Protein backbone atom coordinates (compact mmCIF):
# COMPACT_ATOMS: atom_id res chain seq x y z
CA UNK A 1 0.00 0.00 0.00
CA UNK A 2 1.30 3.44 -0.87
CA UNK A 3 1.68 5.29 2.43
CA UNK A 4 2.94 8.56 0.96
CA UNK A 5 0.22 11.19 1.34
CA UNK A 6 -0.30 13.14 -1.87
CA UNK A 7 0.39 16.81 -1.22
CA UNK A 8 -2.26 19.30 -2.26
CA UNK A 9 -1.26 22.50 -4.03
CA UNK A 10 -2.24 24.36 -0.87
CA UNK A 11 0.06 22.22 1.27
CA UNK A 12 2.87 22.56 -1.20
CA UNK A 13 2.56 26.33 -1.18
CA UNK A 14 2.39 26.33 2.59
CA UNK A 15 5.60 24.34 2.78
CA UNK A 16 7.20 26.88 0.50
CA UNK A 17 6.03 29.60 2.82
CA UNK A 18 3.95 31.03 0.00
CA UNK A 19 0.56 30.57 1.60
CA UNK A 20 -0.72 32.99 4.13
CA UNK A 21 -1.03 31.47 7.58
CA UNK A 22 -4.28 29.59 8.16
CA UNK A 23 -5.46 32.11 10.71
CA UNK A 24 -5.54 34.87 8.12
CA UNK A 25 -7.13 32.75 5.44
CA UNK A 26 -9.86 31.44 7.73
CA UNK A 27 -11.11 34.86 8.65
CA UNK A 28 -9.89 37.75 10.67
CA UNK A 29 -12.00 36.92 13.71
CA UNK A 30 -9.48 34.17 14.44
CA UNK A 31 -6.58 36.58 14.54
CA UNK A 32 -8.19 39.53 16.17
CA UNK A 33 -5.86 39.67 19.07
CA UNK A 34 -5.05 43.25 19.85
CA UNK A 35 -1.59 43.70 21.35
CA UNK A 36 -1.12 45.06 24.83
CA UNK A 37 1.46 47.82 25.13
CA UNK A 38 3.93 48.58 27.86
CA UNK A 39 1.33 50.99 29.24
CA UNK A 40 -1.21 48.15 29.45
CA UNK A 41 -3.45 49.54 26.69
CA UNK A 42 -4.92 47.35 23.97
CA UNK A 43 -3.76 48.44 20.54
CA UNK A 44 -4.74 47.31 17.03
CA UNK A 45 -2.65 48.39 14.05
CA UNK A 46 -3.91 47.92 10.47
CA UNK A 47 -1.58 48.27 7.52
CA UNK A 48 -1.41 48.16 3.76
CA UNK A 49 1.83 47.58 1.88
CA UNK A 50 3.06 46.85 -1.64
CA UNK A 51 6.81 46.72 -1.12
CA UNK A 52 7.15 46.31 2.63
CA UNK A 53 7.84 49.87 3.84
CA UNK A 54 4.53 50.35 5.61
CA UNK A 55 4.62 46.84 7.06
CA UNK A 56 8.10 47.55 8.43
CA UNK A 57 6.75 50.62 10.24
CA UNK A 58 3.60 48.78 11.40
CA UNK A 59 5.75 46.04 12.97
CA UNK A 60 7.33 48.67 15.22
CA UNK A 61 3.89 49.65 16.49
CA UNK A 62 2.38 46.21 17.04
CA UNK A 63 3.68 42.65 17.31
CA UNK A 64 0.71 41.52 15.20
CA UNK A 65 -0.37 44.23 12.78
CA UNK A 66 -3.43 43.34 10.72
CA UNK A 67 -3.39 43.46 6.94
CA UNK A 68 -6.11 45.66 5.43
CA UNK A 69 -6.63 43.37 2.38
CA UNK A 70 -7.07 40.38 4.72
CA UNK A 71 -9.52 42.23 6.96
CA UNK A 72 -11.55 43.22 3.90
CA UNK A 73 -11.75 39.54 2.94
CA UNK A 74 -13.06 38.51 6.35
CA UNK A 75 -16.41 38.98 8.00
CA UNK A 76 -15.44 41.13 10.96
CA UNK A 77 -15.82 44.79 10.09
CA UNK A 78 -16.09 46.39 13.55
CA UNK A 79 -13.15 46.82 15.89
CA UNK A 80 -12.70 48.36 19.30
CA UNK A 81 -9.54 48.88 21.35
CA UNK A 82 -7.87 51.53 23.52
CA UNK A 83 -5.65 52.57 20.62
CA UNK A 84 -6.19 51.96 16.91
CA UNK A 85 -3.75 52.92 14.16
CA UNK A 86 -3.37 52.68 10.40
CA UNK A 87 -0.11 52.55 8.46
CA UNK A 88 -0.10 52.86 4.67
CA UNK A 89 1.71 54.54 1.76
CA UNK A 90 1.03 57.93 0.19
CA UNK A 91 -0.19 57.55 -3.40
CA UNK A 92 -0.13 60.97 -5.01
CA UNK A 93 -1.42 62.74 -1.95
CA UNK A 94 -4.08 60.16 -1.21
CA UNK A 95 -4.55 56.93 0.65
CA UNK A 96 -4.43 53.88 -1.71
CA UNK A 97 -7.89 52.96 -3.01
CA UNK A 98 -7.91 49.80 -0.90
CA UNK A 99 -7.36 51.89 2.26
CA UNK A 100 -10.18 54.20 1.18
CA UNK A 101 -12.38 51.12 0.76
CA UNK A 102 -11.38 50.04 4.29
CA UNK A 103 -12.48 53.44 5.64
CA UNK A 104 -15.82 53.10 3.87
CA UNK A 105 -16.52 49.61 5.20
CA UNK A 106 -14.91 49.29 8.62
CA UNK A 107 -16.12 50.78 11.91
CA UNK A 108 -13.40 51.65 14.42
CA UNK A 109 -13.74 52.73 18.03
CA UNK A 110 -10.80 53.80 20.19
CA UNK A 111 -9.81 56.49 22.70
CA UNK A 112 -6.66 57.20 20.73
CA UNK A 113 -6.48 56.93 16.94
CA UNK A 114 -3.38 57.42 14.83
CA UNK A 115 -2.16 57.16 11.24
CA UNK A 116 1.38 56.84 9.94
CA UNK A 117 1.80 57.45 6.22
CA UNK A 118 4.99 56.34 4.47
CA UNK A 119 6.17 58.30 1.44
CA UNK A 120 9.17 58.61 -0.83
CA UNK A 121 9.81 62.18 -1.86
CA UNK A 122 7.08 64.74 -1.19
CA UNK A 123 4.12 64.02 1.05
CA UNK A 124 2.21 66.92 -0.54
CA UNK A 125 -1.14 67.28 1.17
CA UNK A 126 -1.58 63.67 2.16
CA UNK A 127 -1.95 64.21 5.92
CA UNK A 128 -4.55 66.95 5.46
CA UNK A 129 -6.49 65.09 2.76
CA UNK A 130 -6.45 61.87 4.76
CA UNK A 131 -7.67 63.58 7.94
CA UNK A 132 -10.56 65.13 5.98
CA UNK A 133 -11.36 61.90 4.13
CA UNK A 134 -11.44 59.81 7.30
CA UNK A 135 -13.74 62.27 9.09
CA UNK A 136 -16.52 61.42 6.63
CA UNK A 137 -16.51 57.91 8.10
CA UNK A 138 -16.44 59.05 11.71
CA UNK A 139 -12.72 58.53 12.25
CA UNK A 140 -11.07 61.36 14.20
CA UNK A 141 -7.33 61.02 14.47
CA UNK A 142 -5.37 62.22 17.49
CA UNK A 143 -2.08 61.79 15.69
CA UNK A 144 -1.04 61.71 12.02
CA UNK A 145 2.59 61.62 10.95
CA UNK A 146 4.71 60.64 7.95
CA UNK A 147 7.86 58.55 7.46
CA UNK A 148 10.16 59.17 4.49
CA UNK A 149 11.33 55.86 2.97
CA UNK A 150 12.35 54.44 -0.42
CA UNK A 151 10.14 55.76 -3.23
CA UNK A 152 8.66 52.71 -4.95
CA UNK A 153 6.90 54.64 -7.71
CA UNK A 154 8.55 52.74 -10.58
CA UNK A 155 7.53 55.08 -13.43
CA UNK A 156 9.65 57.86 -11.93
CA UNK A 157 12.25 56.32 -9.65
CA UNK A 158 15.17 54.03 -10.37
CA UNK A 159 15.14 51.68 -7.39
CA UNK A 160 18.91 51.13 -7.52
CA UNK A 161 19.55 54.87 -7.24
CA UNK A 162 16.91 55.21 -4.54
CA UNK A 163 18.74 52.64 -2.42
CA UNK A 164 21.76 54.94 -2.19
CA UNK A 165 19.60 57.54 -0.39
CA UNK A 166 18.78 55.14 2.44
CA UNK A 167 21.27 56.59 4.97
CA UNK A 168 20.16 60.16 4.30
CA UNK A 169 16.55 59.32 4.99
CA UNK A 170 17.35 58.06 8.52
CA UNK A 171 14.46 55.63 8.42
CA UNK A 172 15.21 54.11 11.82
CA UNK A 173 15.44 57.52 13.52
CA UNK A 174 12.12 58.65 12.04
CA UNK A 175 10.38 55.42 13.05
CA UNK A 176 11.76 55.62 16.60
CA UNK A 177 10.37 59.15 16.97
CA UNK A 178 6.95 58.13 15.69
CA UNK A 179 6.85 55.11 18.02
CA UNK A 180 7.82 57.29 20.99
CA UNK A 181 5.07 59.79 20.09
CA UNK A 182 2.41 57.11 19.81
CA UNK A 183 3.50 55.27 22.94
CA UNK A 184 3.15 58.52 24.88
CA UNK A 185 -0.17 59.27 23.14
CA UNK A 186 1.03 62.52 21.63
CA UNK A 187 -1.78 64.65 20.16
CA UNK A 188 -0.42 66.04 16.90
CA UNK A 189 -1.26 66.24 13.21
CA UNK A 190 1.67 66.72 10.79
CA UNK A 191 1.70 70.38 9.85
CA UNK A 192 1.86 71.46 6.23
CA UNK A 193 3.63 74.80 5.83
CA UNK A 194 2.00 77.44 3.56
CA UNK A 195 4.80 76.91 0.97
CA UNK A 196 4.37 73.13 1.05
CA UNK A 197 0.65 73.64 0.75
CA UNK A 198 1.04 75.73 -2.38
CA UNK A 199 3.50 73.23 -3.87
CA UNK A 200 1.20 70.35 -2.93
CA UNK A 201 -1.77 71.91 -4.68
CA UNK A 202 0.32 72.51 -7.80
CA UNK A 203 1.59 68.90 -7.80
CA UNK A 204 -1.86 67.44 -7.20
CA UNK A 205 -3.20 69.48 -10.07
CA UNK A 206 -0.39 68.37 -12.39
CA UNK A 207 -0.74 64.73 -11.34
CA UNK A 208 -4.47 64.64 -11.99
CA UNK A 209 -4.00 65.99 -15.52
CA UNK A 210 -0.80 64.27 -16.64
CA UNK A 211 -1.00 60.75 -18.12
CA UNK A 212 2.56 59.91 -17.05
CA UNK A 213 1.20 59.64 -13.51
CA UNK A 214 -1.41 56.98 -14.09
CA UNK A 215 -4.25 56.75 -11.65
CA UNK A 216 -5.04 53.29 -10.43
CA UNK A 217 -7.58 52.48 -13.11
CA UNK A 218 -5.09 53.34 -15.87
CA UNK A 219 -2.30 51.12 -14.62
CA UNK A 220 -1.18 48.75 -17.32
CA UNK A 221 1.45 46.18 -16.51
CA UNK A 222 2.78 43.93 -19.24
CA UNK A 223 4.22 40.47 -18.72
CA UNK A 224 7.33 39.50 -20.63
CA UNK A 225 6.42 35.92 -21.51
CA UNK A 226 10.00 35.01 -22.39
CA UNK A 227 11.07 35.83 -18.85
CA UNK A 228 8.03 34.50 -16.95
CA UNK A 229 8.58 31.08 -15.36
CA UNK A 230 5.01 30.70 -14.08
CA UNK A 231 6.04 30.74 -10.41
CA UNK A 232 2.76 32.40 -9.31
CA UNK A 233 4.39 34.99 -7.06
CA UNK A 234 2.39 37.77 -8.75
CA UNK A 235 -0.83 35.85 -8.07
CA UNK A 236 0.12 35.57 -4.41
CA UNK A 237 1.26 39.14 -3.74
CA UNK A 238 -1.57 40.98 -5.50
CA UNK A 239 -4.11 42.33 -3.00
CA UNK A 240 -6.73 42.82 -5.74
CA UNK A 241 -6.78 39.38 -7.44
CA UNK A 242 -5.51 40.91 -10.69
CA UNK A 243 -3.37 37.90 -11.68
CA UNK A 244 -4.51 34.45 -12.68
CA UNK A 245 -3.31 31.51 -14.76
CA UNK A 246 -5.07 31.53 -18.14
CA UNK A 247 -4.70 29.70 -21.42
CA UNK A 248 -1.70 31.87 -22.41
CA UNK A 249 -0.02 31.54 -19.02
CA UNK A 250 -0.17 34.25 -16.43
CA UNK A 251 -2.69 37.01 -17.14
CA UNK A 252 -3.34 40.37 -15.57
CA UNK A 253 -6.55 42.33 -15.43
CA UNK A 254 -8.82 43.79 -12.81
CA UNK A 255 -9.18 46.68 -10.47
CA UNK A 256 -5.53 47.43 -9.67
CA UNK A 257 -4.66 49.52 -6.59
CA UNK A 258 -1.26 50.32 -8.13
CA UNK A 259 0.79 49.09 -5.20
CA UNK A 260 3.70 47.73 -7.32
CA UNK A 261 3.79 44.50 -5.32
CA UNK A 262 3.63 42.41 -8.51
CA UNK A 263 6.42 44.22 -10.38
CA UNK A 264 8.62 44.60 -7.31
CA UNK A 265 8.33 40.97 -6.22
CA UNK A 266 8.47 39.08 -9.54
CA UNK A 267 11.73 37.10 -9.28
CA UNK A 268 12.21 37.30 -13.05
CA UNK A 269 11.55 41.06 -13.38
CA UNK A 270 9.05 39.99 -16.03
CA UNK A 271 6.35 42.49 -15.01
CA UNK A 272 6.88 45.88 -16.56
CA UNK A 273 5.21 49.25 -16.85
CA UNK A 274 4.88 51.14 -20.14
CA UNK A 275 7.19 53.83 -18.80
CA UNK A 276 9.85 53.12 -16.18
CA UNK A 277 12.90 54.74 -14.67
CA UNK A 278 14.75 51.39 -14.70
CA UNK A 279 12.88 48.20 -15.60
CA UNK A 280 15.71 46.08 -14.17
CA UNK A 281 15.71 47.67 -10.74
CA UNK A 282 13.22 46.35 -8.23
CA UNK A 283 12.72 46.81 -4.50
CA UNK A 284 11.32 45.13 -1.43
CA UNK A 285 12.11 46.55 2.00
CA UNK A 286 15.37 44.82 3.05
CA UNK A 287 13.90 43.68 6.37
CA UNK A 288 10.61 42.35 4.98
CA UNK A 289 10.41 38.92 3.36
CA UNK A 290 8.44 37.82 0.32
CA UNK A 291 6.43 35.54 2.63
CA UNK A 292 5.37 38.56 4.68
CA UNK A 293 4.13 40.37 1.55
CA UNK A 294 2.24 37.22 0.55
CA UNK A 295 0.68 36.92 4.02
CA UNK A 296 -0.33 40.57 3.82
CA UNK A 297 -1.89 40.55 0.37
CA UNK A 298 -2.76 37.04 -0.77
CA UNK A 299 -6.36 36.68 -1.89
CA UNK A 300 -6.47 33.04 -2.99
CA UNK A 301 -6.81 30.70 -0.02
Ligand X SMILES: Cc1cc2nc3c(=O)[nH]c(=O)nc-3n(C[C@H](O)[C@H](O)[C@H](O)COP(=O)(O)O)c2cc1C
Counting contacts by CB under 6 A, is residue 24 touching ligand X? no
268 binds ligand SF4 (CB under 6 A): yes
Question: Which of the residues 84 through 103 are near ligand X (CB under 6 A)?
Answer: 89-93
Q: Which of residues 175-194 bind ligand X (CB under 6 A)?
A: none
Choose between 122 and 276: whose C-beta lies nearer to ligand X.
Answer: 122
Residue 90 interaction partner, one of ligand X, ligand SF4, none, beta carbon < 5-8 Å per kind: ligand X
Q: By CB under 6 A, what part of segment 28-57 binds ligand SF4? A: 50
Report, in Å, the least distance between residue 283 CB and ligand SF4.
13
Q: Binding to ligand SF4 by residue 20, rule CB under 6 A?
A: no
Interaction of residue 30 with ligand X, rule CB under 6 A: no
* Segment near ligand SF4 (CB under 6 A); pick from 61-69, 120-128, 177-185, 253-261: 253-261
Output the 3-class SS for the chain: CCCCCCCCHHHHHHHCCCCCCHHHHCCHHHCCCCEECCCCCEEEEEECCCCCHHHHHHHHHCCCCEEHHHHHHCCCCEEECCEEEEEEECECCECCHHHHHHHHHCEEECCEEEEEEEECCCCCCHHHHHHHHHHCCCCCCCEEEEEECCCCCCCCCCHHHHHCCHHHHCHHHHHHHHHHHHHCCCCEECCCCHHHHHHHHHHHHHHHHCCCCCCHHHCCCEECCCCCCCCCHHHHHCCCCCEEEECCEEEECCCCCCCCHHHHHCCCCCEECCCCCCCCCCCCCCCCCHHHHHHHHCCCC
- Which position among 153, 192, 294, 295 is part of the footprint of ligand X (CB under 6 A)? 153
Q: Which of 60, 68, 134, 151 binds ligand X (CB under 6 A)?
A: 151
Using the rule CB under 6 A, which residue among 106, 110, 116, 259 binds ligand SF4?
A: 259
Q: Is 171 in the site for ligand X (CB under 6 A)?
A: no
Residues that bind ligand X (CB under 6 A): 49-54, 89-93, 118-124, 149-153, 258-260
Residues that bind ligand SF4 (CB under 6 A): 50, 219, 221, 223, 228-234, 237-240, 242, 250, 252, 256-262, 266, 268, 270-271
Amino acid sequence: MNTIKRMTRREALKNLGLLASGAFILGTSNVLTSCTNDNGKKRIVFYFTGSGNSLYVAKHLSAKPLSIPQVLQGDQLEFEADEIGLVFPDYQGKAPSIVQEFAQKVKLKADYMFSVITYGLDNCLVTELWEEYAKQYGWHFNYINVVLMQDVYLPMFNQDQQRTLYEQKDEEGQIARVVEDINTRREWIYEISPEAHQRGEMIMNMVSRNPIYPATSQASFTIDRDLCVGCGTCVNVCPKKCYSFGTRGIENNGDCTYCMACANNCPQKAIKLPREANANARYRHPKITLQEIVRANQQHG
